[in-house]
Structure 1
Amino acid sequence: MNISAQMVKELREKTGAGMMDCKKVLEASQGDLEQAMEMLRQKGLASANKKSQRVAAEGIIESYIHTGAKVGVLLELNCETDFVARRSEFQALAKDIAMQIVASPSVEYVSVHDIPEEFIIEEKRIEAGRDDLANKPDTVKEKILEGRLDKRLKELSLVDQAFIKQTDITVEELIKKTIALLGENIQLKRFEKFEVGGGTAKKVNNFADEVAEILQKK
């Protein structure tokens, strides 16, 4: 059925969940408001968005070193109180997110909102120049561009990744579930990934050049 903006607004006002989350559960429940509310509660999304406006200045620094010690992650996960920062559920969330970062090689930013505007402009320019768009009408071309750009940006965004331990939810939904569970705003402030050899220019040996050099010495 067609889900109206008014239905989404009503559900959002009742639960505090995000607009897209409200739309998804309304579609899944065929517009049944009560069922949609229940689905949001089961997902831990109801009221999470209201809490997301509160200041989160406490938290922890989490680290994770992957097996083999070739790649590791440091991240800062914030909450509102030191009490919640000491909760095992909060610390487990931080560890899960750190593992997610290691498992997501394309991820460079916490969210799409952190991606620099100049990068987005350049990506759109590159996509717009692809041969398969050359002869398409402007309206069609723009729609395809938006879809491709959205996909590209989400590939770089950590919170848009499918959670490695439960692939039917995103990292953002995982955080919202923990917000609902612990009753405090939780925000992933920043992260940094470290890889052995990262940032170092490696010398690449050319076999043909090596042979030529040896022959010259003879």
Structure 2
Amino acid sequence: MADKASVMKLREQTGAGILECKNALDEVNDDYDKALEIIKKKGFAKASRKEQRTTAEGRIGSYIHTNGKIGVMVEVNCETDFVARNEVFQQFLKDICMQIAATNPIAIKREDISSEIVETQKRGFIEDTKGKPSDISEKIVKGKLENFYKEKCLLEQPFIKDDSQTIQDLLIAIIAKIGENIKINRFARLEVGGK
């Protein structure tokens, strides 16, 4: 039988209901990591069913770092103005602003990165593996490209407040918790002296 602390921790991390968390923990004999995976998969299924729904409402959030040298604006959309005013949504908006300020992504998802940037990165990685057998070189380039995406694509980045989940995981948990489709639409990050 799942203990209350584990159920609450799982609920807090995923946004799933108490009964859903308890059942997931019971299913895997209180193995928290396995229960977390079960909840994430279910949350992803719920989120994917909602992703076709129109997100015409939302908010623009902003963040200026304490030194005044980094600023971020981000637009996060949802289905209703009621949700846009919700405390959970507002906290998500703040967290995304801070994430962008801290990690400096270049795109929301990998499909948004121009093919020229990807090709430039790939050429650099290939150059780094000169002299290695082609099959090993290919694996190294593929691994470095995946790491590039994880570093530069917002949805693939580890969340700065909890690196056990990505921004995509956090987004799915928020969608499951709120019950509406939510999308990070666009962002801008400015840094003094930056390009």
What residue number does 1:198 align with?
A: 194
1:168-193: CA deviations, max 9, x gaps? 11111111100001111111011101
Alignment counterpart, residue 129 of structure 1, candidates 112, 127, 130: 127
The one-letter amino acid paired with 1:126 is G
The reply on whether 1:185 has 2:181 as its aligned counterpart is yes
What residue number does 2:100 align with?
A: 101
Q: Percent identity?
A: 43
Shifted more, 174-183 versus 60-69: the winner is 60-69
Shifted more, 63-72 versus 40-49: the winner is 40-49
Gaps of 5+ in 2: 1-23, 29-33
Change over 3 Å in CA distance of 1:125–1:156 after alignment to 2: same
Tell me if structure 2 keeps the 8 A contact 1:59–1:80. yes
Q: Report 1:107-186 matches (<5 A).
A: 107-130=105-128, 132-136=129-133, 138-186=134-182
SS across alignment from 1:54: coil
The one-letter amino acid paired with 2:194 is G
Which protein has the larger Cα radius of gyration, Structure 1 or Structure 2? 1
SS across alignment from 1:148: helix
The one-letter amino acid paired with 1:122 is T
Change over 3 Å in CA distance of 1:127–1:37 after alignment to 2: closer
The one-letter amino acid paired with 2:185 is K
Q: How far 1:115 sits from its partner (Å)? A: 0.5
SS across alignment from 1:143: helix
What residue number does 2:31 align with?
A: none
Tell me if structure 2 keeps the 8 A contact 1:44–1:178. no
The reply on whether 1:74 has 2:73 as its aligned counterpart is yes
Tell me if structure 1 keeps the 8 A contact 2:149–2:156. no
- TM-score, normalization: structure 1? 0.68
Tell me if structure 1 keeps the 8 A contact 2:59–2:84. yes
Larger relative contact order (CA 8 Å, sep ≥ 6): 2
Change over 3 Å in CA distance of 1:115–1:38 after alignment to 2: closer
Q: How far 1:160 sits from its partner (Å)? A: 1.2
Tell me if structure 2 keeps the 8 A contact 1:61–1:75. yes
What residue number does 1:63 align with?
A: 62
Q: Which runs of 4+ in 1 moved over 3 A?
A: 35-38, 41-46
Gaps of 5+ in 1: 1-24, 30-34, 200-218
The reply on whether 1:51 has 2:47 as its aligned counterpart is no
Change over 3 Å in CA distance of 1:135–1:38 after alignment to 2: closer
Q: Distance in 1 between matches of 2:36 and 2:148?
A: 32
- TM-score, normalization: structure 2? 0.76
Residues matched between the structures, number: 164
1:129-164: CA deviations, max 9, x gaps? 22x44231x333222211111111221111111111
Q: How far 1:123 sits from its partner (Å)? A: 1.3
Q: How far 1:44 sits from its partner (Å)? A: 4.2
